[in-house]
Structure 1
Amino acid sequence: MDHFPDAPRVPEQQQATAVMHLRFEDVSQTGHVMLDALPHGLGPAIWSKLIHGSPIAALMGSHGIIPILTRLVIEGGEGPIAAREPLHVRGIYQLAHTEDAASDVNRLILAMWLSATARRSRTYGRPPPGAGEPIPAGRVFAEHVFTRPFAAPGERKVLRFESPDLPAVPPERYPWRSPESLMGLPEGAQPLDPEPTLDPIAVAFGLDHTDANQHVNSLVYPRIFAEAALRRFAAHGRSTALLARRVEVAYRKPCFAGMRVRIALRTFTIGGALGAVGAFVPEPPDGTASAASEARACCYIRTLFEG
Structure 2
Amino acid sequence: MPLSRPRSASPSFLALLLSSIIGTAAAPAFAADAVLTLNTDRVQEDTNAPALDLALTRFAGMASGSYYWPEGLLAEQLISGLSSRRDRKQQALPDGLQLLSSYRRPYGGSERAAVLIDGRSGDVLAAALVHRQCGAGSSSAGCLDDQHAVLSIFLRPGFDRAKAQPLVAWSREVPEKLQSGEGEKIAKTEYATMDAAHTAARAVERPKGFSAVVPLYPKSLIYRTAQDALSDAKARRVLRLQTTDSMEKVLAFYKQLSPPLEEMESALDTRSGYVAGTRKGVAFSVNVKHDRDMPAITNIEVEISE
Q: Which structure exhibits the higher relative contact order, with contacts defined as CA atoms closer than 8 Å and separated by 6 or more residues?
A: 1
TM-score normalized by the length of structure 1: 0.26
TM-score normalized by the length of structure 2: 0.26
